[in-house]
Amino acid sequence: MTTAQLVSQINLKKSFLCIGLDVDLEKIPTHLLDLEDPIYEFNKAIIDATHHLCVAYKPNTAFYEAYGIKGWLALEKTIAYINTNYPEIFTIADAKRGDIGNTSTMYAKAFFNDLAFDSVTVAPYMGKDSVEPFLAFRDKHTIMLALTSNEGAFDFQTKKVDDKELYQQVLETSKNWKNSENLMYVVGATKAEYFKEIRKIVPNSFLLVPGVGAQGGNLKDVCKYGLNDNIGLLINSSRGIIYTSKNKDFATAAAKKAEELQSEMSLLLA
């Protein structure tokens, strides 16, 4: 999916919501556990109930890898289900990869070619030659960690390097990499006070913003400086939406939560 197509979906749905599909078997309704593939059945129900309210889904691969081969198959089936039934939805593999060049190429092939995700998250720590293999996939998007939502973000990301904070260096440096127009960045909703500065460095880039909901981030605070002429934001909520109810009504309960966020977004876009 191109950025223009993503923006057009946002305008159509009046939503820049991304729903995180972080499936934990201990948190899903128990009646699903009797089924052949509970993870997939849970996702399918959530997707069918919420696809009109969001523009993106973000499975975090850890929640699938934790269940071994069954988990990976459920991930494969989930992304195929979205691509087949809701091709207008932007898909994000939250895998936080990045390695020496030839290894990164294999990661990129796994998520872009084999699983057919639109995008994958990568860590910038190993630098340019670890990220450019992802950027070489011109019709895909690479979403690089810039300033993360967790407390530990302050351990390194805000430390000064050559007079600038490390996350600023990451943003500025990456703009010069080959095919950098395919880059988006992760910035945590819990770091709302940094968005003004971040928008000075990357005014036009899309930002994937996790941390609304369970981590306490606030949509309005992020939008104050985060929105740009192209909207430029994908706001993620995972636990805050998908685990609203543990009963048989879990999918409609999730849709209700998603609708609350979508309504707030539609007002901010008006």
Does 188 engage in binding with ligand LLZGTKA7 (CB under 6 A)? Answer: yes
* Residue among 61, 59, 31 nearest 47 (CA): 59
Q: Which residues 52-81 are close enough to bind ligand LLZGTKA7 by CB under 6 A?
A: 60
Does 94 engage in binding with ligand LLZGTKA7 (CB under 6 A)? Answer: yes
Closer to ligand LLZGTKA7 by Cβ: residue 178 or 246 = 246
Q: Which residues 17-56 are close enough to bind ligand LLZGTKA7 by CB under 6 A?
A: 20, 22
Binding ligand LLZGTKA7 (rule: CB under 6 A), the pick from 38, 98, 124, 213 is 213
Q: Give the span between the Cα atoms of 215 and 227, in whole angstroms.
A: 21
| Candidates 44, 70, 77, 96; catalytic one | 96
Active site residue 140: no
DSSP string, 183-194: EEEEE-GGGGGG
Applying CB under 6 A, the span of 46-54, 160-168, 238-246, 262-270 interacting with ligand LLZGTKA7 comes to 238-246
What token pair was written down for 73? 């198959």
Q: Give the span between the Cα atoms of 72 and 64, in whole angstroms.
A: 5
Helix (H, G, I), strand (E, B) or coil at 225: helix
Q: Give the span between the Cα atoms of 263 and 54, in whole angstroms.
A: 11
Q: Which residues 130-169 are close enough to bind ligand LLZGTKA7 by CB under 6 A?
A: 148-149
Closer to ligand LLZGTKA7 by Cβ: residue 94 or 132 = 94
Q: From the centroid of its chain, how far is CA 162?
A: 30
Closer to ligand LLZGTKA7 by Cβ: residue 158 or 215 = 215
CB of 231 to ligand LLZGTKA7, least distance (A): 19
- Point out the residue whose Cβ comes nearest to ligand LLZGTKA7: 148
Q: Give the span between the Cα atoms of 191 and 210, in whole angstroms.
A: 10
- φ, ψ of residue 260 to 5 degrees: the values are -60, -45
Place of tokens 């009963």: 247
Q: Give the span between the Cα atoms of 88 and 111, in whole angstroms.
A: 18
What is the contact surface with ligand LLZGTKA7 in residues (CB under 6 A)? 20, 22, 60, 94, 148-149, 186, 188, 210-211, 213-215, 236-240
